[in-house]
Amino acid sequence: MPTENAKLLIVDDTAPIRALFSAILTQSGYTVRLAEDGFSALAAIRNQVPDLILSDLYMPGMSGFELLSVVRRRFPSIPAIAMSGAFSGDSVPPGVAADAFYEKGSAISYLLDMLEALIRPERMPAIEHSSASAPIWIAKNGHDPAGEPYVMIACPECLRAFPQSLKEDARAIHETDCIFCRATIHYAIVQSADSAPPLGGRHPTAGRFSAPSGLEASHSPCAV
Ligand SMILES: [Zn+2]
């Protein structure tokens, strides 16, 4: 049996998938909330911090890559499961800030086992994440009406998002202050590079992400 009333936040841009997981996991004894992308997930987390996050990776708006990097930064003790049909196997895709990976379409019993293992209270203190000081991931959004490139930055402290114009060196680690809470945010731009080496992705529409340089360094000079 799952932990009494453990609170799950399920993030997926596809309504039928949200409905399916909601039905299965509610029936399995979890309290389920749903979000359709990273931004609405952050809004849900502002209302109430969940016991576990299950997030799709490729979503329009704010992707799971970005969402999970923000969550790991702000709430390092919340276990996270990434899910996608774009990666196969059971290992977490490189650079994704999650504790486990669920390949969409594989047996739901795998997912239920993962949930139980990650939410079990005696396991919680054992989960320690050293990446809390890593920069968050931000995907390039495009250009504002004046033609300037910009990104949407989700603040790991207050979980609000704001636009930021982008200077030329897109691969460096940047620093800015949140316009809402003034927290200092370190972020790295995630390239949706067509030239990136294949990650086994087979998603029909989304660009592939490659880890920004320095993101995986354990002792980043830019870490706070
Ligand atoms: Zn903030």
**Domain CATH for 78:** 3.40.50.2300
**What is the per-residue pLDDT for 195?**
30
**CA–CA separation, 198 vs 187, rounded Å?**
24
73: left (phi over 0), alpha (psi -120 to 50) or beta: alpha
Report the amino acid identity of residue 155: C
Helix, strand, or coil (residue 119): helix
**What is the per-residue pLDDT for 170?**
56
For residue 205, report the distance from its CA to the centre of ligand 1, in Å: 31
Tell me the average pLDDT across 199-219.
Answer: 39
DSSP 130: G
**CA–CA separation, 116 vs 6, rounded Å?**
10
Tens of pLDDT, residue by residue over 107-146, are 999 999 999 999 875 544 445 555 445 677 777 767 777 8
Tens of pLDDT, residue by residue over 59-73, are 998 999 999 999 998
**CA–CA separation, 11 vs 96, rounded Å?**
15
For residue 161, report the distance from its CA to the centre of ligand 1, in Å: 8
**What is the per-residue pLDDT for 202?**
38
**What is the per-residue pLDDT for 133?**
55
Q: How many domains does the chain have?
A: 1
Mean pLDDT of the chain: 78
Tens of pLDDT, residue by residue over 65-99, are 999 999 998 888 899 999 999 888 888 988 789 99
Report the amino acid identity of residue 24: I
Cα of 130 vs its chain's centroid, Å: 16
Beta partners for 187? 136, 174
For residue 142, report the distance from its CA to the centre of ligand 1, in Å: 22
**CA–CA separation, 39 vs 196, rounded Å?**
26
For residue 185, report the distance from its CA to the centre of ligand 1, in Å: 8
**Both tokens assigned to 185:** 């945010």
Q: How far apart are the first and last CA of the chain?
A: 40
In a domain, 76, yes or no: yes
In a domain, 12, yes or no: yes
- Supply the pTM of this predicted model: 0.70
In a domain, 47, yes or no: yes
What is the domain extent for residue 18? 7-130
For residue 177, report the distance from its CA to the centre of ligand 1, in Å: 8
E-assigned strand segments in the chain = 7-11, 31-35, 52-56, 80-84, 100-103, 136-143, 149-154, 161-165, 173-177, 184-190
Range of 23-32, 149-158, 199-208 with top mean pLDDT:
23-32
For residue 33, report the distance from its CA to the centre of ligand 1, in Å: 23
Q: Which among 31, 36, 2, 30 is positioned nearest to 17, based on CA atoms?
A: 36
In a domain, 21, yes or no: yes
For residue 158, report the distance from its CA to the centre of ligand 1, in Å: 4
In a domain, 57, yes or no: yes
State yes or no: pLDDT of 152 exceeds 80.
yes
**CA–CA separation, 20 vs 17, rounded Å?**
5
